[in-house]
């Protein structure tokens, strides 16, 4: 363990850089869409001043580009970087580039049809909203590309195990394989939804679609998707953060246990997004709710383990007392800018975590269901710890793989703090507004926030205003980050690309337990499959029994079917 360098090939380096830089452009378009969302909802704008189109088009490209495209690219790029580095083995570049090209073609295809207004279906692409077939094909290529990328790591890992019998798999590799095991299982359902339901329906080969079945398949995928987002961030928390803080990982076993728990509990939880849906019996919804509480456990273990790791780092810096370590961490050291992205994400996740537990509490879900509370919550997870870790990770990766020194380090260090302030303000506005009844996925600017409307809700306005203020501050934080990112990308290289070596801040464990029972993925995958079969068989059965007929396709613009 500890720092070491690895020499990637030129082709590998270029691939990782491409997989980071192009999605960063798409991310910025999506972030711009997010800012516009707050302006739409406040009634400040009625159509997008630059991209054109209405609230729902903006909501679609904000969600798809930020939550699906950027995150998937980052996870693949991070795996392409961290797995070869940890195993000291080079990628099969032909396969890796094939996966990258599939993902790029798919993402650009989906982005174009969204931006020309042919796929205004939001990031959940629930029917009966119908998108252009190229949207579904684009998403399929993105997912297939990610499968190819992760499949490319398997022979490397098997070879490493042969050569290193009895050795523990590096924790970073365990984390990245966990990420893609969860992703693979989850995307099987959405592949069925897209290939056998949405695509034929969109192409006009079938007239109607079973909306409830499509929603159920989506949430089979949609909630584990949250862990697909979170797990690379967890890899950074366990593997990088203790070292960046100047300490060690408190327990290696805790990290391994957390990753295995995510494999077991990530998937059989999706129906907690469907508590208010008809067709599914309440006992199965409750079962999924219980599993959702189980999947909170690894996050609680993480909270303790990372706190202990940071406490250790603080104690090494001379901290005294129970909480003195909190004041000894390198929050504002520009040379240690990466730490800022991880610590701000963790602070945000405290609020995101409790929001998730509330959402999963069956009865309490009725208080917040389909209100602005929900985006208030998930911005504290996917737009909090996930986004910040991925932004920090992206900047680190381009610096390493393009052999460049990070430019504007003070800007890079301060950006996550500005973003965090904005995020907390915006989420507070959304959550309190949601508790007052403010709906999500609704252009409130045309109704509840419009003084000329009979629906006008004056008491919601302070909270809507907070979302505008918070969203604007978040946007400023991202602009500062983007300036630092692209200044680094376009700066002069430190030397010939082929000579450069890559280094990651790998933490040493303070307690390096043998944890032999956590060394094999197989038993945990088998348990996961058993739980999925037990939890989803009755749900699918209920849906198929209770749903009669199907739905014609619609667009958000009209109550009349498209055909």
Partner 1 sequence: MGNNESNGEVEEFRPKGAIAFFIVLILFFAVVWFALYFELLSRG
- Active-site residue set: 223, 227, 377-379, 440-441
C-alpha separations of 144 from 21, 94, 147, 155, 195 in Å: 20, 15, 5, 18, 12
Does residue 509 touch partner 1 according to CB under 8 A? yes
Window of 10-18, 58-66, 270-278, 318-326 that interacts with partner 1 by CB under 8 A: 318-326
Provide, rounded to whole angstroms, the least separation between the CB of residue 310 and partner 1.
Answer: 8
Dihedral (CA of 276, 277, 279, 280) sign: negative
What binding mask, one character per residue, do residues 332-361 give for partner 1 by CB under 8 A, x or -? ------------------x--xx--xx--x
Element (DSSP H or E) covering residue 66: none
Window of 75-83, 322-330, 486-494, 553-561 that interacts with partner 1 by CB under 8 A: 322-330
Please, are residues 28 and 61 in contact by the beta-carbon 8 Å criterion?
no
Query: What distance in Å separates the CA atoms of residue 145 and residue 136, rounded to the nearest whole number?
Result: 14
**Which of 324, 538, 556, 561 contacts partner 1 by CB under 8 A?**
324
Provide, rounded to whole angstroms, the least separation between the CB of residue 117 and partner 1.
Answer: 38
Q: Quick one: 103 or 374, whose CB is closer to partner 1?
A: 374
Provide, rounded to whole angstroms, the least separation between the CB of residue 320 and partner 1.
Answer: 10
Please, are residues 71 and 123 in contact by the beta-carbon 8 Å criterion?
no
Element (DSSP H or E) covering residue 250: strand 249-251
Window of 59-67, 153-161, 232-240, 506-514 that interacts with partner 1 by CB under 8 A: 506-514
Q: Which DSSP letter does residue 408 get?
A: S
Q: Quick one: 192 or 358, whose CB is closer to partner 1?
A: 358
Length of the chain counted residue by residue: 563
Q: Quick one: 309 or 457, whose CB is closer to partner 1?
A: 309
Which residues between 356 and 395 bind partner 1 (CB under 8 A)?
Answer: 357-358, 361, 363-364, 366-368
Window of 49-57, 309-317, 450-458, 475-483 that interacts with partner 1 by CB under 8 A: 309-317
Does residue 512 touch partner 1 according to CB under 8 A? yes
Q: Quick one: 7 or 511, whose CB is closer to partner 1?
A: 511
Dihedral (CA of 509, 514, 515, 520) sign: positive
Element (DSSP H or E) covering residue 511: strand 509-511
**Which of 6, 151, 508, 529 contacts partner 1 by CB under 8 A?**
508
| Cis peptide preceding 128, ω within 30 of 0 | yes
Provide, rounded to whole angstroms, the least separation between the CB of residue 357 and partner 1.
Answer: 6
Window of 59-67, 192-200, 311-319, 332-340 that interacts with partner 1 by CB under 8 A: 311-319
**Which of 304, 332, 490, 517 contacts partner 1 by CB under 8 A?**
304
What the block records as the tokens of 91 is: 């990628």
Provide the b/e sequence for 410-435 (b: ≥16 CB within 10 Å): ebbbbbbbbbbbbbbbbbbbbbbbbe
Number of residues located near partner 1, criterion CB under 8 A: 38
Does residue 323 touch partner 1 according to CB under 8 A? yes
Element (DSSP H or E) covering residue 502: strand 502-503
Q: Quick one: 144 or 510, whose CB is closer to partner 1?
A: 510
What binding mask, one character per residue, do residues 394-433 give for partner 1 by CB under 8 A, x or -? ----------------------------------------
Query: What distance in Å separates the CA atoms of residue 83 and residue 178, rounded to the nearest whole number?
Result: 12
**Which of 157, 262, 291, 312 contacts partner 1 by CB under 8 A?**
312
What binding mask, one character per residue, do residues 30-49 give for partner 1 by CB under 8 A, x or -? --------------------
Q: Quick one: 323 or 332, whose CB is closer to partner 1?
A: 323
Q: Quick one: 118 or 508, whose CB is closer to partner 1?
A: 508
Window of 15-23, 109-117, 274-282, 310-318 that interacts with partner 1 by CB under 8 A: 310-318
- Tell the burial category of 108 from Cβ atoms under 10 Å away from its Cβ (0-12, 13-18, 19+): middle
Q: Quick one: 465 or 513, whose CB is closer to partner 1?
A: 513
What binding mask, one character per residue, do residues 452-491 give for partner 1 by CB under 8 A, x or -? ----------------------------------------
Which residues between 237 and 256 bind partner 1 (CB under 8 A)?
Answer: 248, 250
Count CB atoms within 10 A of the CB of residue 49.
8
Q: Residue holding tokens 């378009």?
A: 29
Partners of 289 in the beta sheet? none
SS (H, E, C) 118-139: CCCCCCCCCCCECCCHHHHHHH
Provide, rounded to whole angstroms, the least separation between the CB of residue 304 and partner 1.
Answer: 5
Provide, rounded to whole angstroms, the least separation between the CB of residue 15 and partner 1.
Answer: 35
Please, are residues 484 and 407 in contact by the beta-carbon 8 Å criterion?
yes
Which residues between 127 and 156 bind partner 1 (CB under 8 A)?
Answer: none
Q: Quick one: 178 or 365, whose CB is closer to partner 1?
A: 365
3-state class of 81 per DSSP? Answer: helix
Query: What distance in Å separates the CA atoms of residue 51 and residue 31, rounded to the nearest whole number?
Result: 13
3-state class of 249 per DSSP? Answer: strand
Window of 98-106, 145-153, 307-315, 455-463 that interacts with partner 1 by CB under 8 A: 307-315
DSSP letters, 365-401, are HHHHTTBTHHHHHHTTTIIIIIHHHHHHHHHHHHHHH
Please, are residues 317 and 378 in contact by the beta-carbon 8 Å criterion?
no
Count CB atoms within 10 A of the CB of residue 455.
10
Query: Contact positions toward partner 1, by CB under 8 A?
Result: 248, 250, 300, 303-304, 307-308, 310-312, 314-316, 321-326, 350, 353-354, 357-358, 361, 363-364, 366-368, 435, 508-514
């Amino acid at each position: 363990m500890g720092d070491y360098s690895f020499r990637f090939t030129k082709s590998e380096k270029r691939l990782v850089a491409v997989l980071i830089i192009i999605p960063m452009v798409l991310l910025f378009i999506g972030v711009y869409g997010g800012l516009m969302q707050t302006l739409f909802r406040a009634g400040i704008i009625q159509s997008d001043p630059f991209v054109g189109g209405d609230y729902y088009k903006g909501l679609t490209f904000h969600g798809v580009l930020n939550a699906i495209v950027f995150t998937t690219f980052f996870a693949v790029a991070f795996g392409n970087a961290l797995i070869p580095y940890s195993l000291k083995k080079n990628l099969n570049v032909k396969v890796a580039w094939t996966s990258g090209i599939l993902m790029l073609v798919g993402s650009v295809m989906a982005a174009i049809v969204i931006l020309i207004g042919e796929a205004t279906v939001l990031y959940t692409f629930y029917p009966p909203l119908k998108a252009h077939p190229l949207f579904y094909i684009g998403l399929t290529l993105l997912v297939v590309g990610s499968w190819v990328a992760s499949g490319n790591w398997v022979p490397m890992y098997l070879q490493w195990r042969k050569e290193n019998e009895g050795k523990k798999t590096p924790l970073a590799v365990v984390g990245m394989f966990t990420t893609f095991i969860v992703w693979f299982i989850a995307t099987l359902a959405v592949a069925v939804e897209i290939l056998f339901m949405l695509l034929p329906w969109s192409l006009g080969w079938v007239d109607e679609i079973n909306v409830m079945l499509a929603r159920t398949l989506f949430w089979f995928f949609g909630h584990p998707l949250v862990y697909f987002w979170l797990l690379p961030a967890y890899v950074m928390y366990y593997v990088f953060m203790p070292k960046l803080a100047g300490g060690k990982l408190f327990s290696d076993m805790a990290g391994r246990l957390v990753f295995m728990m995510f494999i077991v509990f990530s998937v059989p939880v999706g129906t907690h997004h469907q508590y208010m849906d008809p067709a599914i019996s309440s006992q199965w919804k409750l079962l999924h709710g219980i599993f959702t509480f189980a999947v909170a456990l690894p996050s609680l273990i993480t909270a303790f383990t990372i706190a202990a790791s940071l406490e250790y780092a603080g104690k090494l810096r001379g901290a005294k007392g129970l909480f003195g370590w909190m004041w000894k961490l390198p929050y504002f050291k520009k040379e240690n800018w990466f730490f800022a992205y991880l610590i701000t994400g963790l602070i945000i996740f405290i609020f995101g975590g409790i929001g998730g537990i509330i959402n999963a509490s069956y009865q309490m879900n009725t208080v917040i269901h389909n209100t602005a509370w929900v985006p208030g919550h998930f911005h504290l997870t996917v737009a909090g710890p996930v986004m910040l870790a991925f932004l920090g990770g992206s900047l680190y990766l381009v610096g390493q793989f393009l052999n460049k020194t990070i430019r504007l380090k003070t800007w890079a260090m301060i950006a996550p703090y500005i973003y965090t302030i904005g995020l907390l303000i915006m989420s507070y506005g959304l959550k309190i507004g949601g508790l007052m009844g403010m709906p999500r996925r609704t252009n409130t600017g045309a109704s509840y926030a419009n003084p000329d409307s009979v629906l006008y809700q004056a008491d919601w306005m302070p909270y809507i205003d907070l979302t505008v203020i918070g969203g604007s501050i978040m946007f400023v934080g991202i602009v500062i980050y983007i300036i630092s990112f692209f200044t680094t990308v376009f700066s002069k290289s430190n030397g010939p690309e082929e000579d450069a070596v890559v280094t990651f801040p790998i933490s040493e464990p303070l307690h390096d337990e043998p944890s032999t029972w956590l060394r094999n993925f197989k038993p945990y995958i088998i348990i996961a499959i058993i739980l999925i079969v037990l939890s989803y068989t009755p749900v699918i059965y209920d849906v198929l029994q209770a749903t009669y007929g199907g739905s014609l396709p619609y667009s958000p613009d009209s109550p009349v079917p498209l055909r």
